[in-house]
Amino acid sequence: MQRKFLTNLGLLLLLNLLIKPFWVFGIDRTVQNIVGSEDFGFYFTVLNFSFLFNILLDFGITNFNNRNIAQNTQLLAKHFSRLVTMKLVLGFLYFLVTLGFGYGYGYRGSQLNLLALVGFNQFLLSFILYLRSNISGMLMFRTESIMSVLDRLLMIVIMVVLLWGNITTAPFKIEWFVYAQTVSYIIALFVAYLVVVIKSKSLTISWDWPFFLMIMRKSMPFALLTLLMTIYNRIDTVMMGKLLSNDIAAEQAGIYAHGYRILDATNQISFLFAVFLLPLFSHMIKQGQELLKIIKISFSILIVATGMLAVTTFFYSYEFMDLLYEHHIDESGKVYATMIFGIVAMSTSYIFGTLLTANGNMKALNIIAGISVVISFVLNYTLVPAFMAKGAAIANLSALSFSALAQLWVVHKEFNFKPEIRFTLRLLIFWLIAFLLTYLSRSFNHIDWILRIGILFLIMLILAFALRLFNIKELFSYLETRELS
């Protein structure tokens, strides 16, 4: 099972490294530069506002279903037709609530129209994630790998035509970006639906109120966790809209988006780890299999990869922002340098939070998420008026760091995992040397900074192998003892 996971994880990473960087640095960045910080900042605020009500779209169904199908595959056909109906009802409720609160928040006219479009996209994306939870729950990792990039691939094709196809002389509008997402999500949803229908052999939808109540009761802890995590991850720019004056709020949200969109994009690799790990952990826990080795392998891969990215771009944040964007470079660089270490915290949470989810430790996770929400609210309220976008970045990093450390502590208590002193020391040595080398590299001004980063990445990778953070011999030995299923 673990060999199957690692083999298909390689496919997942390959596909995402081919598709996602072009989306982030080719398409998303171009749109931000064309429409400007203010327009994109408003779109980003509306997007985060729409995320706040995602609990109504999903109600924890996706995570619950992923774990449940991984442990009870035979339930797919029985549950699928009913959950599809439930998702449609929840989608309608989400749409009404989002528009209602948007109107109450102060959105009018074109602003409310943009919220409606973004909200519809959130519904489509939520439906796709639910369908993918069935695919990954059945441990169809190869199909899940393809589905993880399908919507982005479609968006790239559409946006290339809109941005560089010269099909219109009208200036590019942010709404076109949203329309491209809508079309891509619809196609990806249709493909995912066909895959699940073929496996479940169910084309019908059915209304079963007792079943809905049962699912909502079981998924309630997952729903609460989703709500709390969404709040402390997405509340920053929404609070900016109320804490800052109208003439600078959208602009500051745009500056914050410069850094956050890259952070969010690089975080997708960690998120996809979690998509694979949740059904795998759930299956292994039910079978009583040993978990420590696969956790250590996953953690080593993520902590080294995110560490390399965080350290290098921290010291070269200004150059990085200058390469990508055309406006507010200095401010964006400071915001990015503040928030980038959040990717290390997020990758840690995606390992240990996923393990706790698979084990059913929802109370602990919800307590941690609730405290993280308080941290985010207090720090945003205190820091945003004084430091604007940078204050929001500090709040975001603080909430993410607390969540990761708290989850790590709960895993230690729950599973009685003993910290490996040698592994921890090797990891600290890696980070110390990475910081030192990157800091010293700033002195080599005669070498192009991109080349310097490339050399640093190579040295860090060699260092990770030398310190046996990536132990090829141990990995292959481990794979040979596992049955491919």
Q: Which two tokens stand for residue 109?
A: 């006219």
Residue 246: CA atoms inside 13 Å, Cβ hemisphere, count? 2
- Does 263 have pLDDT greater than 70? yes
| End-to-end Cα distance, the chain | 5
Judged by DSSP in three states, 483 sits in coil
Q: What length does the chain have?
A: 485
Concatenating the DSSP letter of every residue in 436-481 gives: HHHHHHTT-TTS-HHHHHHHHHHHHHHHHHHTTSS-HHHHHHHHHT
Q: Kindly report the average pLDDT of the chain as a whole number.
A: 83
Q: In the Cβ-directed half-sphere of 132, how many Cα atoms lie within 13 Å?
A: 25
Tokens standing for 25? 């640095």
Q: How far is CA 90 from CA 52, 83, 85, 93, 96, in A?
A: 15, 10, 9, 5, 10
Residue 468 CA to residue 423 CA, distance in Å, equals 9
- The pLDDT of residue 482: 47
Closest to 260 in 3D by CA, of 53, 58, 32, 17: 32
How far is residue 427's CA from residue 405's CA, in Å, rounded to a whole number? 16
Q: What does pTM read for this prediction? A: 0.73
Averaged pLDDT, 159-181: 88
Cβ pair 148, 208 in contact under 8 A: no
What is the rounded average pLDDT of the residues 54-59?
79
Q: Is the pLDDT of residue 432 over 90?
A: yes
> pLDDT by residue (tens digit) across 110-158?
888 999 999 999 999 988 988 887 777 676 767 877 887 888 899 999 9
For the stretch 317-340, what's the b/e string if a residue is b when 16 or more beta carbons lie within 10 angstroms of its beta carbon?
A: bbbbbeebbebbbebbbbbbbbbb
3-state helix, strand, coil in the chain (%, to 5): 85, 0, 15
- Mean pLDDT score, 449-463: 93
* Helix 2-21 / helix 292-315 crossing angle, nearest 10 deg: 20
* Greater model confidence, 477 or 10: 10
Per-residue model confidence as pLDDT tens digits over 193-242: 888 888 766 656 666 778 778 777 777 887 788 888 888 888 888 888 78
- Pick the range with the lowest mean pLDDT from 28-42, 258-272, 392-406, 421-435: 258-272
Q: How many alpha carbons lie under 13 Å from residue 73 in its C-beta half-sphere? A: 12
Say what angle helices 141-164 and 110-137 make with each other, to 10 degrees.
Answer: 150
Looking at residue 421, its pLDDT comes to: 85
- Please provide residue 448's backbone torsions phi and psi, each rounded to the nearest 5 degrees: -55, 135
Amino acid identity at 203: L
